[in-house]
Structure 1
Amino acid sequence: MSQYDSGILVVVMERVPTFKVMKTFGLLLLSLVTTAQNTVDDKPVSKGEELQFKLTYGWFTVGRGSFKISDDYVLKDGKECIEINIHGKTAGLAGVFSKVDDRWGAIVDKETFLPHYSYRDLSEGDKDLDEKTYFDYDSMSILVESTSTSNPESNGTKYFELDGSSYFDMMGGLMFARSVDYRSMQKGDTIRLDAFFDEEFYDFKMIYHGIEKTKTKIGKIYCHKVVPIMEKNSVFKGKDPVKFWISADANRLPLKVAAKMNFGKAQVELTSYKNAKSGIDFK
């Protein structure tokens, strides 16, 4: 890396508000979810599935992440559930300027993907957060426990009421998105969803853009393209700034997220996978 490239990376990392950006990408994953569409009967859930991702800003690889489903089912309220764990951290020279080491996880129903429990253990530069969220469907409430040494005023327990809708967390939302029956949809269809994330309720909308052959890190393959409707904000730039691609096969792998942001272009891309449930068929 040249001195010029290093200088650009310093500027980019200094301008990126890590907690805000990580929250934003969490919301982007959630925006893939829809409660208004049918799901396939043969859901792409494979015990022991592992996915590896990388995050780039412009030319630079600044982070890597992993997504893993538990090797065995977990019983919760008498139902079989899967445990999901995500680990994301800075990579390469980016770690010198803004070190990120984040862990996210959840226990979700293996059929509906609705969450029973989720957590966030975040360490980003001089900021930290240890958060546990419990979903109680008998009392229709959510309990959130937060601990932070960098922001002690946020410590404590909070309660939120559910209004009867199906609210997803980030991990369950991503799995539900992979189960949507996209082939029953038409270009231009609008999809809506309800989600709970970072102590807030969200009502998302997105547009289905059909199937297209897309260049990805695991090959040039056919994908379902989805574009969320984004409200004007200080993070993203231009019209339709965010786009998603999900493999058009039975596994529905989350292949790529591309975003035009005010400080440059960012991408999250799948780089490898193993223990996928179905044989690979992207046609």
Structure 2
Amino acid sequence: MKTFTLILVSLFSFGQPMVKSKPVSTGEELQFRLSYGWFTIGRGTFKISDDYVMLDGKECLEINVEGGTAGLAGVFSRVDDRWGAIIDKDTFLPYYSYRDLSEGDYELDEKVYFDYDEMKIRFEQSTPSENKPRPTRYFDIEKSNMFDMMGGLMYARSIDYRSLKKGDTIRMDAFFDKKFYDFEMIYGGIEMIKTKVGEIYCHRVVPILEKNSVFDGHDAVTFWVSADGNRLPLKVKANMNFGTAYCELTAYKNVKSGIDFN
């Protein structure tokens, strides 16, 4: 079951003006619930390190995410995924990212290194059960603002949505799983939605997806980011070929603005 990862990938960000005051801070922790119909099928935790990590003389955020099956889903297919990154705290550009996936019989360890002096990406993968790494691959960084999954999510939360009009197109460049992506998304304006953490005004965004075997249509995913100082990723709705899945924020603490919600 790769649904949780696929939905998080849909939260990649876009090349737009950023707010001057970043909405994220060290120590932030977010809890998510993944559901299908009435059933909870997974839960995830997003955690930013309590202190900055120093790389190339710059302060960076270390982000770690854990996701796994919950409820009846765990009976049919056990998932225990971990992924994360070290990203620049100001630009959100990545220096390092990883994925450790365990999904039933499927296993994968992945490490990606971003070298901005050489403008190269070093990509390493292995399968733990085989105890044999795959050949290391290298990719050229051809654009200055090339995000990974975590950096994209952070950048999405820092966009100045107030400068956008409903229907505006949002663009970004990203690298994920050996591929470069040129994303386009449509800004849907502000609306109030009911969430697990209350009724909140949100910015609505719809990614334009490439044709694939998982999502039902090029506009199958919609996500909502809180229209406040935290820009929290509150909810994702994904119309998939087997039905509609939701990823919803259920709790948060150590956010930059406001109080904890548990």
- Supply the distance in 1 between the matched residues of 2:202 and 2:120 (Cα, whole angstroms): 37
- Supply the distance in 2 between the matched residues of 1:62 and 1:120 (Cα, whole angstroms): 20
8 Å CA contact 1:126–1:150 kept in 2: the answer is no
1:34 to 4, 14, 18: 14
Equivalent residue, structure 1, for 2:42? 63
Normalising by structure 1, what TM-score? 0.88
8 Å CA contact 2:234–2:248 kept in 1: the answer is yes
8 Å CA contact 2:27–2:47 kept in 1: the answer is yes
2:110 paired with 1:128:
no
1:219 to 177, 198, 208: 198
Gaps of 5+ in 2: none
1:233 partner amino acid = N
2:174 paired with 1:174:
no
After superposition, the Cα gap between the structure-2 partners of 1:23 and 1:279, relative to the gap in structure 1 and judged at 3 Å, is: closer
- Supply the distance in 1 between the matched residues of 2:26 and 2:220 (Cα, whole angstroms): 34
- Supply the distance in 1 between the matched residues of 2:117 and 2:211 (Cα, whole angstroms): 37
- Deviation of 1:22 after TM superposition, in Å, equals 4.6
Taking only aligned residues, the RMSD between alpha carbons, in angstroms, comes to: 1.6
- Supply the distance in 1 between the matched residues of 2:70 and 2:250 (Cα, whole angstroms): 14
Provide the secondary structure at the position in 1 that maps to 2:6.
helix
- Deviation of 1:47 after TM superposition, in Å, equals 1.0
Of Structure 1 and Structure 2, which has the larger fraction of its residues in strand? Answer: 2
- Supply the distance in 2 between the matched residues of 1:103 and 1:54 (Cα, whole angstroms): 16
After superposition, the Cα gap between the structure-2 partners of 1:64 and 1:23, relative to the gap in structure 1 and judged at 3 Å, is: closer
Query: Deviation string for 1:125-145 (max 9, x for gaps)?
Result: 001011110000000000011
Query: Deviation string for 1:161-211 (max 9, x for gaps)?
Result: 111331111111111000000011000100111000011100100000100
- Deviation of 1:59 after TM superposition, in Å, equals 1.4
Gaps of 5+ in 1: 1-17
Provide the secondary structure at the position in 1 that maps to 2:75.
helix
- Deviation of 1:25 after TM superposition, in Å, equals 2.2
- Deviation of 1:149 after TM superposition, in Å, equals 4.0
Give matches, 1:248-263, under 5 Å.
248-263=227-242
Equivalent residue, structure 2, for 1:12? none
8 Å CA contact 2:121–2:141 kept in 1: the answer is yes
8 Å CA contact 1:114–1:172 kept in 2: the answer is yes
- Deviation of 1:151 after TM superposition, in Å, equals 7.2
8 Å CA contact 2:187–2:206 kept in 1: the answer is yes
Of Structure 1 and Structure 2, which has the larger fraction of its residues in helix? Answer: 1
- Deviation of 1:233 after TM superposition, in Å, equals 2.2
- Deviation of 1:150 after TM superposition, in Å, equals 5.7
Query: Deviation string for 1:85-125 (max 9, x for gaps)?
Result: 00000001111101000001110000000000010011000
Normalising by structure 2, what TM-score? 0.95
8 Å CA contact 1:166–1:194 kept in 2: the answer is yes
